Structure 1
Amino acid sequence: MLRDKAHFRDRPDAGRRLAEALMRFADIEPLILALPRGGVPVAFEIAKALDAPLDVLFVRKIGAPGHAEYGIGAVVDGADPQLVLNDEAMEIFRPPRDYIETEKKRQLAEIERRRMLYAEGRRPLPVKGRSVILVDDGIATGGTVLAALKALRKDQAARIILAVPVAPGESLALVGKDADEVVCLATPEPFLSVGLQYEKFGQTTDEEVISLLREAERFGNSSMGR
């Protein structure tokens, strides 16, 4: 039994509840993009309910020179991978141009490795001119989601809907500016962590991601990326 509106049994439960709130988008034939790994079980339920194609969207941070933990930008997967830079961080660290290019290539190689593992070689589904629903299992600070949204905009998605089960209000306000619409089921206060909003929040395994993506190939027109 759920303790309150901000609590979910597990990721599939959160996905099914999100799907109910997203059914009004079924007629626009959206593309569902999941942030791996935790976003995949949530997005799978949405893709199943809307009979929509499902893909993963990889985001890899670019760390500052000598301070790898400090993100100055990100590389975002896609048919046309996008580099998203944090202007404020770039002004602080002023990294050489060749540093950014080298890091971009390194992160793109890691994205390719992970896509080969998860999507088994299938190319990213194109987003240009499409309505996209970006899904994660929750938002904490919002940095990864923000980079993904900016990249989707640069990649000319026609409409971007961000869908998450739970997030703090301040993070939603930050990322919401880069989405056409935001669907979030719960914004608990105080917000301590995404995991506390779930009864079961174990790590999503690579095997689970691969299995769900294989099963999702029967939804919508997912085969177009083959």
Structure 2
Amino acid sequence: MASSPIGTAAGMIRDKITGAPQREAGRRYRVGMTVTLDPTPFLLAGDALRVPAPREATTSVTEVGRIGGDGPGGMVRLYTSGGGFVQVALGTGAEAEEARYFAPIDEVTPASEDEWGAWLDPREGMIGFREFQTKDGKNHTRVWQPGPEMVPPRVLEETIESASGTRTVTHRSMLYATPTHLGAGAPEAEFVLVEMTEEGSNASVTIHAGIALSPASLSIV
């Protein structure tokens, strides 16, 4: 049965109040879509970055992770077949307000309580300390709540959709960065995202390197 004009108008008002269009807009990010990244920042940076450039500019999305909902303040992670992920900070209408590309550069599975403490100790754990040093000896300053004091990791609940279903993981995360001092057009900073991830009875620490992307340069279809 066709909707009446009054019914259609009522639905529009209801959606505006409840935020239904916002939820639908967030679903524009889906498994199987393709992401094309502008290669220019990687080419201009050359070997100055630890984050590995994607093997191909256009890759398919194998998993979609959602953190904090589909509205403003939420984040979407588009995991690609190349091994990295594009993290999109959502604004009004699920438009990308901010985008970063991350790829893993190291992974650790602590084997004892002491080893876990080195990462998560509330007084001096590496995830939350004012600086983070990568294996090459380079220091990175904390981006989230910069300052000399210790800061607890951010707890991020991520719902991940894939072709095989949906699962939920919990991250304890901190973001760091260091300036690149490269020329115009190259990334101004390289980020390091340090995350302890729990999924069921499994837990590990992953270190990702990343750069900021211009949302306008992203092609997501």
Same fold (TM over 0.5): no
Q: TM-score range by the shorter chain?
A: under 0.3
TM-score, normalized by length of structure 1? Answer: 0.27
